[in-house]
Structure 1
């Protein structure tokens, strides 16, 4: 008689703490992000810095969802794994998932060609069907994914516009990586999303604006 199959335990943030994927997001302009938000998930915390100066419409929209509690109780539900390039690479998507009780009207599109931001490792970007439809769903890039940036030479209008980056993960990429590595349901999802839905979505318990860090003290004058 054969023994029961060995089932691998679900990934944990601790298991990703020292991997390259756990490094903080790559922020082209680290001094420009003026608002931090803490996302508490059932697997641990994620801290993001919002680019409120370079992407004011998109970052402001996300902050409004945070301050009105519209993200509390939602989930990370989709893990896209992209072949090629550094692995694991892809994106993790979460948010309101079109819930009519949570979503606000779509916002004007801020392409990366306008903001100067980029879909680098740890970047947050708005999910949308077409420019002007972004509401309360967002995704986090795992490894650099420049193909999501605006491309004026693209034949498809959607790719000419690209997606709108509005912030970067500054702490908790090990949590992002653990969620991204969780089991997916091969039969869930429709169209291009089939097979990309997590078997057990990871809850976003709360999303809160964080207090600004205290300024560093001025250096003491050196003795002659």
Structure 2
């Protein structure tokens, strides 16, 4: 049998944290490795417990979720972990800063439990996950910050089709939506996405979005 995905839950609101723990622990393929109420404790516990995924709140005492995510996702740590940020905040700087810090996913707390569970499983595989609509809101609101004012198309190793896929990723489309838009199979789109990430040396779709805007590949 495949070992369950080990999850560390970090949220300073006890009732919220308890609810997350209960929902996660009820799944046969997930296991709560630990829980805590601030970012510093999350970093410390992650070093000891070595979870696969940390479910992280943003606004917390001692060390906020953004800085904790930056430490957990750092290439310099002995055991970097995937971070899924779950917060009540949407149209503000937290989305952008969490993703820049290295979060693999971003969900809102009003998302149904099924979306949370899917998010944990998704980021555990190494893929990225954004709450529906968040990508569009992210690039729409922060495009000016992501992309330098004098940005020009960057030299890149992508084929025309891969560039087309990257642009659609940057617009917030899912693999299924990209497949329908380009009349391709989802499997083919998945292959294109994997090639794009490999060629550009990117970790996930989130970095692909930021890359595309930073280098003027989308308008």
Report the TM-score, using the length of structure 2 for normalisation. 0.25
Structure in which a larger fraction of residues adopt helix:
2
TM-score (norm 1): 0.24
Where relative contact order (Cα < 8 A, 6+ residues apart) is larger, the structure is 1
Q: Which has the larger radius of gyration?
A: 1
Structure (1/2) with the larger strand percentage: 1
